[in-house]
Structure 1
Amino acid sequence: MKIAPLLRGLLVALTAACGAILPATAHADGGFITLTIYKAGWIIGGSGGSGMLHFHGRAYPLSTGGLDWGLVFGGSRTVLRGRVSNIWRPSDVEGVYGAAGAGLAVGRGVRGIVLTNQKGAVLELSGEQIGLLANVDLSGLAITIR
């Protein structure tokens, strides 16, 4: 008959532990993002553009800019759409996202990428790239709310 109080104590302890762990992750939320990025370069490249974050029923205009270093030649326009996760407020999307990559776009091409910033926001994006661009580079993309 001592098993019932022990079981009840374990259940209470388990419930308390779950209650302590879940609130830390339960508040993180997500939204949807669209970015239009123009990229051009010769060895050193640059990018700039704009976008929109949709979070909790509101739309937040975004600005993007960045630098590429490596083998970069040409120019392109990329429209990316996708999900942003692990954010608590719209400003969590702001920051610098880094990537290493290689690609070739002649005319139209498909692009997909997953990026993370210093605040832990995760962007899962895919879309279409148009232009003539060859690259093997390290790049950084900064996103700010306008």
Structure 2
Amino acid sequence: MRLSSAVRTIVLVLVAFVGLSSAARADEGYVQLTIIKAGWIIGGNGGSGVLDFHGRRYPLTVGGIDYGLVFGGSRAVLRGRVSNIWRPSDIAGAYAAGGAGIVVGGGVRGILLTNARGVTLELAGSQFGLMANADLSGLAIGLR
């Protein structure tokens, strides 16, 4: 009788541990952002996007500021993976990045961003316009 309750306790502890460890893993999704950027020394950016997470699509808003050498305007369409996300609202927040580049007509762009919750965006895509920049950027993403 004593062995039976000990075995039962061990099985319950193992089931609880397996349940907690599988729930402790963050997930991933995919995102597409369209960002319009313009400025002269100080610039701004804004746009919209979509988060695909667990078979559902969530509309996003994008906005921010740039400071440094910013001249011109451009439009970027970026797609990529979102990792370390638990729920759709985790993507919301401020992201910081530094960058440099020149776009005359069109080109490619890639960026890696992380917010305070540890959500990471790995984005790549195309950029069109006339823009020269060597700046620090702040990007805020929100759910609509």
TM-score range with shorter-chain normalisation?
Answer: 0.7 to 0.9
**Partner of 2:116: helix, strand, or coil?**
coil
Alignment of 1:1-146 (within 5 A): 19=17, 23=21, 26-146=24-144
CA shift for structure 1 position 91 = 0.3
Instruction: Tell me the distance in 2 between the aligned counterparts of 1:83 and 1:26.
Output: 20
Cα distance in 2 for partners of 1:24, 1:138 equals 38
Distance 1:42 1:25, change over 3 A: farther
The separation in 2 between residues aligned to 1:32 and 1:59, in whole angstroms, is 10
Unmatched tracts of structure 1, length 5 or more: 1-11
User: Matched residues in 2 for 1:74 and 1:132: separation?
Assistant: 5
3-state SS of 1:27 partner: coil
Paired AA for residue 53 in structure 2: F
Give the whole-Å Cα distance in 2 for the aligned partners of 1:80 and 1:119.
Answer: 21
Whole-angstrom CA distance in 2 between matches of 1:119 and 1:28: 11
Identify unmatched segments of 5+ residues in structure 2: 1-9
TM-score, normalising length from structure 2?
0.85
Q: In the aligned structure 1, how far is the partner of 2:119 from the partner of 2:71? A: 30
RMSD: 1.7
| Other structure's SS at 2:81 match | strand
Deviation at 1:23, TM superposition (A): 1.9
Deviation at 1:26, TM superposition (A): 4.3
- Separation in 1 of the partners of 2:48 and 2:75? 12
Cα offset for 1:24?
7.3
Normalising by structure 1, we get a TM-score of 0.84
Q: Distance in 2 between matches of 1:100 and 1:37?
A: 16
Distance, in Å, in 2 between the alignment partners of 1:58 and 1:73 is: 38
How far, CA to CA, are the matches of 1:136 and 1:30 in structure 2? 31
User: Could you tell me the percent identity over the aligned residues?
Assistant: 67
